[in-house]
Chain A
Amino acid sequence: MEITLQNVTKVFQSKKAEETVAVDNLDITIPSGQLTGLLGPSGCGKSTTLFMLSGLLRPTKGKIFFGNEEVTPVPPEDRGIGLVFQNYALYPHMTVRQNIMFPLENVKMDKEEAQQKAQNIADLVGIGHLMNRKPKQLSGGQQQRVAIARALVKEPRVLLLDEPLSNLDARLRLQTREEIKRIQRETKITTIFVTHDQEEAMSISDEIVVLREGVTQQIGEPQHVYDKPENMFVAKFLGTPPINMFDGRIENGRLMIGEANIAKYDVKDQEVKIGIRPEGFKIVERSSFKVTVDMVQTIGRDTTLVIEKPNAKGETFRAIVDSEERVKPGTVLKLSVRPTKFHVFNKETGAII
């Protein structure tokens, strides 16, 4: 089920008639049978978009299509969607079985068939042995699975997940995100999930949509978006540790940070912003990019160097190098920059150059 949003806008009106544009003219196509992540900082309109897909919110303007069918005026109960809420919204007075069977009872499915289906889906998500428990007697991860089972049991056309991992602790989060990926692969259901965690989105999505203040920034495969950001916001938002931003300039076809020559760059002379990924630095013998190391942090296989920017006193950047390289604070190093790991942006608009 391919999902298309056409110029979708959502404006919230407060009691004092102040208007907030949560989603602004969103125009995206979400591919069928894949896991798509809506990614952005809080307040970017990603949850609003998800709730508009579910039908719980109506767009102020624009159209939503499931396949060729327009669903904009269709209420949530008739859209054929499964929705997993951020805090799961499991009915506390029902057992796991009753929770999972509830959507089936609503469509008056035969009781035995419903029970069989509930059991099958519970087995799929790995909670088949917990059917008689109440939600309160389950751990966060188990509750999450019950919520997914309840959303999947009615065989929806689309599965929507609102911040599915935000209520789990770090370890469970890692495990659950593999689990969501596996369930999605096995059911092949078009799945859209919302997250503010770029690592989470990058690790499980087939496709990510980066949003900012209700406006799409970039759509594409996670690695592609990471490697080829279309603007400064996307470059800054993806990656941990975040990308290093430098004030730089283009001079006679060369990219300069202060007096350091970074690379050849054949566009007209101007002031620019340069983003360099921490893993984009290499320690070399000869280079005009000379720096002094401030601090060295070795964590596991990586060594992170904290270095003062050559053209801005007091500001630092991070470079990740092999832990083989024994570097001490105070060492003077010469660096080069890997050609695919830096990006040049327009100083005013932030667009890629």
Chain B
Amino acid sequence: MLEDQHNVKAWFYLAPALALLGIFIFYPIVNALFLTFVQDYEYLLGTFDGFTLLGNFKNAMQDANFSQAFLNTLFITFVSVPISVIVALLISAWLNGIKKFQGMFQTIFFLPYVTNAIAVGMAFAFLFNRDFGLVNLFLGFFGVNPINWVNTGANWGHAMFSLVIYITWLGLAFKIMVFLSGLQGIDKQYYEAARVDSASRSRIFRRITVPLLSPMIMYITVTSFIGAFKAYTQVIGMFGQRLGPPGNDKSLITVVALVYEGIDNAATVGALSEAAATSIILFGVTLVFTLINFQVSKTRVHY
């Protein structure tokens, strides 16, 4: 009797959270799965013509932009994540080592985190502007002719390079913050012991700092991978709805952008199902890489 009462109470306390989770998390997931396996779904009428196992996946893969979207997403992920993790690690190690102005630099490096991604994207688009941008101005000092990074007709390589630089920079802030807090938690005696043991600075970094920070590095790597697979806002921020430099529209389309396109065309029969299938594929890819990350961490992370 008493236990029953407790149960009722517990559910009562959980109800608000469960209601919100149900509406905004569980229902959309179930609905996406449902959409993935129905044929000829009509959004406006809510009708469909039976079920299909692979039909929507086939449609999704036959989309003109499908392979480009995956290629771009994978490229962004595998270039920006390692670079930003390593750069963040080096910056935070350096920040942890300095005494003067540490607070000031910490604030500076943290600013991108509290700045709107779209606004930063527009700023970066201007930095990479062919005629007025600082990047070309800087390169000009070394006698490099102006490069068309993001303006009309810019090729995929240049546009992608600019995008990856921007995404890397945007991701640094949070990583630096996490690494710095991790570094500050490492007992200074390990460093003193290593100094007495005649370890060089680079060896101290590789053999002491990185292993002791490995739980943080693991956490950051996994969440960054997942975040990078979902890249979308950043492309919008730099290139707008065109998803690429003018004249080379959609050349920088990502998987999530592809999903949103499906939603935009929801009125078309089956378009929503196609978007749902695309999102399930993305989920599968993300899951696989996360599992690989965890597998690697078993041998590399020291808790």
Contact = CB atoms under 8 A, between A and B. Distances in A.
Interface string A66-81: 0000000001111001
The prevalent SS among residues of B at the interface is: helix
A106 B204 CA distance: 10
A152 to B, nearest CB: 12
B302 A56 contact: no
Nearest to B214: A93
A102 B187 contact: no
Interface residues of B, number: 19
Contacts of A77: 195-199
Contacts of B194: 102
B212 A154 contact: no
Contacts of A76: 192, 195-196
Given A91-B208, A92-B212, A93-B212, A107 B198 contact: yes
B206 to A, nearest CB: 11
A85 B193 contact: yes
B281 to A, nearest CB: 38
B212 A89 contact: no
Interface in B182-202: 187, 189-190, 192-200
A19 to B, nearest CB: 19
A351 B90 CA distance: 58
B189 A85 contact: yes
A93 B211 CA distance: 7
Q: How big is the A interface, by class?
A: 20 to 34
A55 B192 CA distance: 10
B196 A54 contact: yes
Contacts of B195: 56, 75-77
Contacts of B214: 93
B302 A92 contact: yes
B35 to A, nearest CB: 47
27 contacts: A56-B192, A75-B195, A76-B192, A76-B196, A77-B195, A77-B196, A77-B198, A81-B196, A82-B196, A83-B192, A85-B192, A89-B190, A89-B192, A91-B207, A91-B211, A93-B211, A93-B212, A94-B211, A102-B197, A102-B207, A103-B198, A106-B197, A106-B198, A106-B203, A107-B198, A150-B197, A154-B197
Interface of A: 54-56, 75-78, 81-83, 85, 87, 89, 91-94, 102-103, 106-107, 150, 154
Given A89-B190, A91-B193, 19 more contacts: A55-B196, A56-B195, A56-B196, A75-B195, A76-B192, A76-B196, A77-B195, A77-B196, A77-B198, A78-B198, A83-B192, A89-B193, A91-B190, A92-B302, A93-B214, A102-B207, A103-B199, A107-B198, A150-B197
